[in-house]
């Protein structure tokens, strides 16, 4: 059975993490499949937006603990490769020119919470929870912290990673972690509606908007204005006669 299900609905590609018996925990195979699935969506001219969700009752339980027993100091090369793969996955979303909507259908924990927030827009089922429990297991919410601190205020982010307690959908919305809450039976329809709206936008304008959005976030104000000025001049070429 494939770790990742792929479905096209018009110009929207739906990627479904498909390890329901493991609550879609991220083993190496699923992580690699996600990377390849996102890259394939980016390369496909027929795809204009992506929806990411999970099969079964969970969105993603985070890293697959079954693989942790091999990630020891004695296996430094394996540890390095796995860490690099995780970093690559959580970093790819902002590098894509096409918008990604995450449909958080159930629990999103640790690395799963990181994936949920890595999307450009995040919708959450009303009964789902999101959290970073790593500290309770004596480890650190490490790679996923980069996206978290860019999505929520410092005080809330620290409480999430240092306290390890999950938040429900209403709290996630209040904190600005997600864009909206849907009834479980409406989640995918709402996520696809968002994706279809983005897919209808001019391709070049969307790509430039997304690239500039992520670029200006980390720039000093004056440089961010300059970056905006450069795109402002270039976007004249987007307009069709």
Active-site annotation holds for 80: no
Radius of gyration (C-alpha) of the chain in whole angstroms: 18
Q: What is the dihedral of CA 130, 136, 34, 91, to 10 degrees?
A: 90
Question: Which one is catalytic: 36, 42, 134, 165?
Answer: 134
- Distance CA(110)–CA(115), nearest Å, equals 9
Q: At what angle do helices 111-118 and 76-92 cross, to 10 degrees?
A: 30
- Distance CA(4)–CA(191), nearest Å, equals 18
Compute the 3-state secondary structure of the chain and give helix, strand, coil in percent, each to the nearest 5. 55, 20, 25
Q: What is the dihedral of CA 38, 23, 101, 191, to 10 degrees?
A: 130
| Strand ranges of the sheet holding 167-168, from the earlier edge strand across to the other edge | 58-60, 107-109, 129-131, 167-168
- CB-based contact 124:169 (threshold 8 Å): yes
Helix, strand or coil, per DSSP, at residue 1: coil
Residues labelled as active-site residues: 134
């Amino acid at each position: 059975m494939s770790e990742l299900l792929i479905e096209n609905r018009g110009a929207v590609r739906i990627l479904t993490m498909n390890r329901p018996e493991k609550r879609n925990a991220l083993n190496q195979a699923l992580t690699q499949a996600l990377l390849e699935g996102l890259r394939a969506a980016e390369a496909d001219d027929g795809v204009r937006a992506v929806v990411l969700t999970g099969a079964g009752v969970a969105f993603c339980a985070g890293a697959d603990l079954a693989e942790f027993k091999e990630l020891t100091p004695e296996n430094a090369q394996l540890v390095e490769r796995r860490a690099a793969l995780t970093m690559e996955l959580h970093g790819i979303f902002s590098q894509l020119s096409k918008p990604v909507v995450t449909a958080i259908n159930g629990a999103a924990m640790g690395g799963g919470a990181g994936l949920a927030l890595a999307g450009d827009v995040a919708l959450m089922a009303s009964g789902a929870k999101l959290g970073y429990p790593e500290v309770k297991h004596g480890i650190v919410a490490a790679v996923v912290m980069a996206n978290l601190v860019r999505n929520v205020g410092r005080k809330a982010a620290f409480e999430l990673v240092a306290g390890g307690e999950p938040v429900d959908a209403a709290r996630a919305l209040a904190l600005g972690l997600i864009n909206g809450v849907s009834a479980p039976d409406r989640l995918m329809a709402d996520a696809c509606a968002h994706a279809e709206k983005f897919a209808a936008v001019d391709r070049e304008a969307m790509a430039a908007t997304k690239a500039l959005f992520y670029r200006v976030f980390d720039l000093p104000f004056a440089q961010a204005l300059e970056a905006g000025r450069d795109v402002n001049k270039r976007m004249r070429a987007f307009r069709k006669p």
